[in-house]
Amino acid sequence: MFFAYMFVDVMSPLQELLEVRLGWSPTAFGNYAGAEYMLNVFGFLIVAGIILDKMGVRFTGTLSASLMVGGAVIKLYAISPLFVGTAFDGWLSSWWTAMPGSAKLAALGFMIFGCGCEMAGITVSKAIARWFDGKEMALAMGCEMALARLGVFAVFSLSPRLSQALGGDPSVVVPVAFCTVLLLIGLICFIVFTVMDRTLDRQTGVGSGETSSEEEFKLSDVGGLFRSRLFWIIALLCVLYYSAIFPFQRFGTNMLQCNLGISAETAADLLRWFPIGALMLTPPLGYCLDKFGRGATMLILGSLLLIGCHLVFALLLPAVPSQILALVTILVLGVSFALVPAALWPSVPKVMDKRYLGSAYSLIFWVQNIGLFGVPILFGNVLAASNAGVTDPMEYDYTNPMLMFAGFGVLALIFALWLKILDTRKHYGLEAPNIASDTAVEAAEAESAEE
Ligand SMILES: C[C@H](N)C(=O)N[C@@H](CCCCN)C(=O)O
């Protein structure tokens, strides 16, 4: 996941270079960026969940890593001199001219990569839920997400430098090639893991439970999930929360520039503390969840912090353009970005049957991907409508789009409160620790002995 998250953002700091070298306008860049979620939204993620529940972690993990490498190679080819300027490029550029041929082909590669990346996300979640059942599950998921955040931080720092690594003219090819090689290394590592895991199964005679018969998955389970109120509460909380987070990461630099009148570099330097805060806090918060519980409360607190931060960006920062205020708000938003993911993902196995956990994760991701695909487009339109006639990209008024993010936070808060009320009434265990205490285990054992 570390390499995958690096690849996701490898071109984010190179937008200007792509415009100069390959003629990608901001619209072309936006279309390319949104392509990551497109095939997932049109159904791939649902299929991915079924494959995961039917075929198991080893097969799905290898398939997802292969898709990531395949998509990455297409994207690398699209921006390389092997493709740019060829007859194929000429033909691809000749229709829908707002998207140069290289942007179209790169978007196709990114779509395939996105299928692999999200498929890997649900595979990792299901694997951790299985391996750490009743143990430090939230800590394990927290560590995995922290690694992903480190990947974002690393690529934002490395990508601009790698683009200059060969001397001479800066190149977008070098950073993308570097991250493609990392993905290939990741695929090889996963294949080695599957071989070792299979060997261990054979030696111990214990199946990994990948597709054991007592846990057989049925297609009707997917329909059952769609009819589950709990599923929808979690999925809608997830899409609303993440729709105010990942698109913010994309637009945040320009929002800070406009409000503070600073350069893109200074704004990016402020914004990169956002994943760093989440990186440092997600594992300890996961550990606290494992030990002391309070998952639903963490979701409420995280949503409240999200609302507060976006209100500051919308209303206070334009009136008080202070870098310190911006930094403090970014750090608090980082706390929110640690609280909600640390509590949300480990909560899913508590309320969903293990048999269709892969499908549950994939359907939650699917609903979330619809938001991640649509919200940046909505955000861009709200920004444009609120700034009619403004041509200087340093002069945009971000009040309305940031209020929209705060609105998503309010809706997420409502779903978090609903979840807590349901948990209090129906005892799903969302507020309970993941690690059963010794006394609880002894009590359960005594109870079953009496039976
Ligand atoms: C974007 C992706 N679908 C997502 O939701 N990522 C989460 C982590 C999900 C848990 C993965 N094991 C994130 O917070 O980055």
Which of 129-133, 291-295, 336-340 has the weakest average pLDDT? 129-133
For the chain, what is the mean pLDDT?
A: 89
Closest CA to 160 of 26, 13, 5: 13
Closest CA to 281 of 138, 118, 129: 138
Phi, psi at residue 199, to the nearest 5°? -60, -45
Query: Is residue 228 domain-resident?
Result: yes
**Which range has highest mean pLDDT (42-46, 106-110, 274-278)?**
106-110
Sign of CA dihedral 234, 235, 238, 244: negative
Whether 181 and 227 map to the same domain: the answer is no
Whether 125 and 24 map to the same domain: the answer is yes
Whether 117 and 245 map to the same domain: the answer is no
- Band the pLDDT of 446: cuts 50, 70, 90: low
Whether 189 and 227 map to the same domain: the answer is no
Whether 7 and 35 map to the same domain: the answer is yes
Query: Is residue 210 domain-resident?
Result: no
Q: Do residues 268 and 252 touch, judged by C-beta distance below 8 A?
A: no
pLDDT at 351: 86
Whether 183 and 152 map to the same domain: the answer is yes
Ligand 1 is surrounded, with C-beta below 6 A, by 118, 121, 124-125, 141, 144-145, 148, 242, 341, 345, 365, 368
In the reported structure, the alpha carbon of residue 358 is separated from the centroid of ligand 1 by a whole-number distance in angstroms of 14
Query: Is residue 388 domain-resident?
Result: yes
Query: Is residue 268 domain-resident?
Result: yes
Which residue's CA is minimally distant from atom 9 of ligand 1? 121
Which residue's CA is minimally distant from atom 3 of ligand 1? 365
Host H or E run for residue 437:
none
Whether 251 and 287 map to the same domain: the answer is yes
Helix, coil or strand: residue 23: coil
Over residues 216-246, the pLDDT tens digits come to 566 677 788 888 899 999 999 999 999 999 9
DSSP letter assigned to residue 99 = S
Which residue's CA is minimally distant from atom 8 of ligand 1? 145
pLDDT at 169: 81
Distance CA 391, CA 409 (A): 30
- Of 24 and 413, the structure prediction assigns the larger pLDDT to 413
Distance CA 182, CA 173 (A): 14
**Alpha carbon 279 to chain centroid, angstroms:** 13
Whether 295 and 433 map to the same domain: the answer is yes
Whether 48 and 145 map to the same domain: the answer is yes
Distance CA 150, CA 171 (A): 24
pLDDT at 380: 83
Largest CA distance in the chain: 78
Query: Is residue 451 domain-resident?
Result: no
**Tokens 């979840």, residue located:** 419
Q: What torsion do the CA atoms of 140, 143, 144, 148 make, to the nearest 10 degrees?
A: 170
Query: Is residue 71 domain-resident?
Result: yes
Q: What's 145's domain CATH number?
A: 1.20.1250.20
On the 0-12 / 13-18 / 19+ scale of CB atoms within 10 A, 191 is middle
Which residue spans within 94-134 are E strands per DSSP? none
Query: Is residue 395 domain-resident?
Result: yes
Give residue 88's identity as a one-letter amino acid code.
F
Q: What is the ipTM of this complex?
A: 0.97
Query: Is residue 185 domain-resident?
Result: yes
What domain range includes position 176? Answer: 1-202
In the reported structure, the alpha carbon of residue 121 is separated from the centroid of ligand 1 by a whole-number distance in angstroms of 6
Q: Do residues 94 and 212 touch, judged by C-beta distance below 8 A?
A: no
Task: Indicate the number of domains in the chain.
Answer: 2
Whether 86 and 168 map to the same domain: the answer is yes
Which of 92-101, 171-180, 267-276 has the weakest average pLDDT? 267-276
Whether 313 and 164 map to the same domain: the answer is no
pLDDT score of 442 more than 60: no
In the reported structure, the alpha carbon of residue 145 is separated from the centroid of ligand 1 by a whole-number distance in angstroms of 7
Q: Do residues 373 and 41 touch, judged by C-beta distance below 8 A?
A: yes
**Alpha carbon 41 to chain centroid, angstroms:** 14
Over residues 189-226, the pLDDT tens digits come to 999 999 998 998 888 876 555 554 445 566 677 788 88
pLDDT at 122: 93
Whether 62 and 93 map to the same domain: the answer is yes
* DSSP for 128-149, written as a single string: HHHHTTTTTHHHHHHHHHHHHH
Of the residues 176, 202, 228, the one at which a domain ends: 202
